[in-house]
């Protein structure tokens, strides 16, 4: 199937990533030829809106995307439409028609990766998705290859640039969440509907993909505990700082010790200020991991945007091209389905909480007694006087089981000296 004189490519989608990919293939032609052994030629580009002005001549474009994936003159299909449909049907059809596939689609791979990779492997085709996680940062393939001999014990990632940009602005410029979100939207980092980013869906897809590769089985998305950053306040950031922490939206996955069982979660997290993950700023992404032999590793870089994402797409494309040249295609590494996930209630970690309380004798004693009787040890405390005979108390607990913590927090909430539980977050040490 390989045309040995050139690798012929069809691109589905010509948004920022599609256009960046096209530009990179043109701009760095020399590097690419040297590495693949022959040129890569973009033959056709599939778009949705034929009326939109484009930077290329019209003959490249078609709105008939099925025609691209069926074209016998195309060897590799690059899918950068995003979302579940029509991307999934198009990728299925491309594989059926004998084409290698490179995709940047995290939602698709998080939901259907196992089936698609297994199908590609059976057909002797490549299916790569480095761009689905961490933009241009090489994460997916290193996990599949250079780190493949390790038992991965834990991974923690700042995987959503938009949320990290918002949290950085809240931190650096003392903005509220709403102000920072509006700024991110203005700067082009956040969509008009920011749900996918700020409510943790994007991070969930990405950590699910990484976990599937590291642990060898697709992760059922409904078993991933997911919280976004809407509830993070200036005040919590301030107390976190006093206690020596930063607040980051993390995707976290770890082995539980039981066979084929992990605990996987997405939530705002207090991270010690000297941990590498705490220092990831603005729209940067990072993945920290611990493997049994490799120890601690950290990868960081620009996790999104036209050019960094194109870098990953073109890296995959070069690998597909090389495999075509040496006849070694079908290098996708299949993984199964049905990973077991431990419920979040069984998590053991430390907790941060902020309470508004009545500023009167024995308030602290009564609260501390409830926690103490539930076996939840308190490790650090900050206390401030508010107006109207109220006070504010922040606690950091010792390590405890989440269900014990949340039930004792419910008991505390019911005390007459407690006005409200303003917030609580998990802590990583």
Catalytic residues: 206
Of the candidate spans 141-149, 156-164, 171-179, 343-351, the one that interacts with its own copies by CB under 8 A turns out to be 141-149
Q: Is 416 exposed, middle or buried (0-12, 13-18, 19+ CB in 10 A)?
A: exposed
Number of residues that bind its own copies (CB under 8 A): 59
167 binds its own copies (CB under 8 A): no
Cα–Cα dist 178/172, whole Å:
15
11 binds its own copies (CB under 8 A): no
Among 172, 282, 292, 410, binds its own copies (CB under 8 A): 292
In this structure, how many other beta carbons lie within 10 angstroms of the beta carbon of residue 360? 10
With CA atoms as reference, report the closest residue to 140 among 225, 218, 211, 36: 211
Among 142, 183, 220, 272, binds its own copies (CB under 8 A): 142
328 binds its own copies (CB under 8 A): yes
141 binds its own copies (CB under 8 A): yes
294 binds its own copies (CB under 8 A): yes
322 binds its own copies (CB under 8 A): yes
Cα–Cα dist 372/195, whole Å:
38
151 binds its own copies (CB under 8 A): yes
* Least distance in angstroms from the C-beta of 133 to its own copies: 11
Cα–Cα dist 16/34, whole Å:
26
Question: By rule CB under 8 A, what string of x and - marks binding of each residue 26-55 to its own copies?
Answer: -xx--xx-xx--------------------
Task: Please check whether residue 76 is in contact with residue 59, taking contact to mean a CB–CB distance below 8 angstroms.
Answer: no
Complete edge-to-edge strand list for the sheet that includes strand 127-128 = 61-62, 40-46, 7-12, 76-79, 100-103, 127-128
194 binds its own copies (CB under 8 A): no
Q: Which residue stretches of 216-305 are H helix?
A: 234-242
Number of H helices, E strands in the chain: 14, 18
Task: Please check whether residue 100 is in contact with residue 127, taking contact to mean a CB–CB distance below 8 angstroms.
Answer: yes
300 binds its own copies (CB under 8 A): yes
Cα–Cα dist 197/405, whole Å:
28
207 binds its own copies (CB under 8 A): no
Name the site residues for its own copies (rule: CB under 8 A).
20, 24-25, 27-28, 31-32, 34-35, 130, 136-138, 141-142, 144-151, 216, 276, 279, 291-302, 305, 307-308, 310-312, 314-319, 322-323, 326-331, 333
């Amino acid at each position: 199937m390989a045309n040995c004189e050139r690798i012929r490519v069809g691109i589905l989608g010509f948004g920022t990533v599609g256009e960046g990919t096209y530009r990179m293939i043109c701009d760095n032609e020399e590097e690419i030829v040297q590495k693949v052994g022959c040129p890569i030629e973009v033959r056709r580009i599939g778009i949705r809106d034929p009326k939109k002005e484009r930077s290329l001549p019209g003959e490249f474009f078609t709105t008939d995307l099925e025609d691209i994936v069926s074209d016998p003159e195309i060897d590799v299909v690059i899918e950068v439409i995003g979302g579940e449909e029509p991307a999934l049907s198009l990728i299925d059809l491309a594989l059926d028609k004998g084409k290698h596939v490179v995709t940047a689609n995290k939602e698709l791979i998080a939901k259907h990766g196992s089936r698609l990779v297994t199908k590609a492997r059976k057909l002797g085709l490549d299916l790569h998705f480095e761009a689905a996680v961490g933009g241009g940062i090489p994460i997916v393939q290193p996990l599949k290859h250079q780190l493949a001999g390790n038992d991965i014990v834990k991974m923690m990632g700042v995987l959503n640039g938009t949320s990290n940009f918002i949290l950085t602005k809240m931190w650096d410029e003392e903005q509220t969440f709403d102000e920072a979100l509006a700024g991110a939207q203005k700067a082009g980092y956040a969509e008009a509907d920011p749900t996918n980013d700020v409510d943790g869906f994007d991070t969930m897809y990405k950590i699910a993909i990484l976990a599937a590769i590291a642990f060898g089985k697709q992760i059922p998305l409904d078993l991933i505990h997911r919280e976004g950053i809407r509830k993070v306040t200036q005040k919590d950031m301030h107390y976190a700082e006093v206690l020596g922490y930063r607040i980051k939206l993390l995707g976290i996955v770890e082995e539980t010790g039981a066979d084929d069982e992990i605990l996987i979660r997405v939530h705002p997290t207090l991270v010690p200020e000297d941990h590498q993950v705490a220092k990831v700023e603005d729209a940067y992404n990072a993945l920290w991991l611990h493997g049994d032999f490799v120890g601690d590793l950290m990868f960081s870089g620009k996790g999104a945007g036209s050019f960094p994402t194109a870098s990953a797409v073109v890296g995959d494309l070069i690998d597909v091209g090389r495999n075509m040249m040496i006849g070694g295609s079908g290098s996708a590494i299949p993984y199964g389905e049905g990973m077991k996930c431990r419920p979040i209630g069984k998590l053991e970690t430390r907790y941060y909480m902020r309470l508004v309380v009545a500023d009167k004798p024995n308030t602290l004693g009564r609260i501390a007694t409830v926690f103490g009787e539930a076996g939840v040890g308190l490790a650090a405390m900050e206390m401030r006087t508010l107006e109207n005979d109220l006070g504010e108390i922040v606690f950091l607990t010792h390590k405890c089981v989440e269900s014990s913590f949340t039930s004792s927090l419910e008991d505390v909430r019911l005390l007459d000296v407690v006005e409200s539980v303003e917030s609580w977050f998990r802590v990583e040490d």
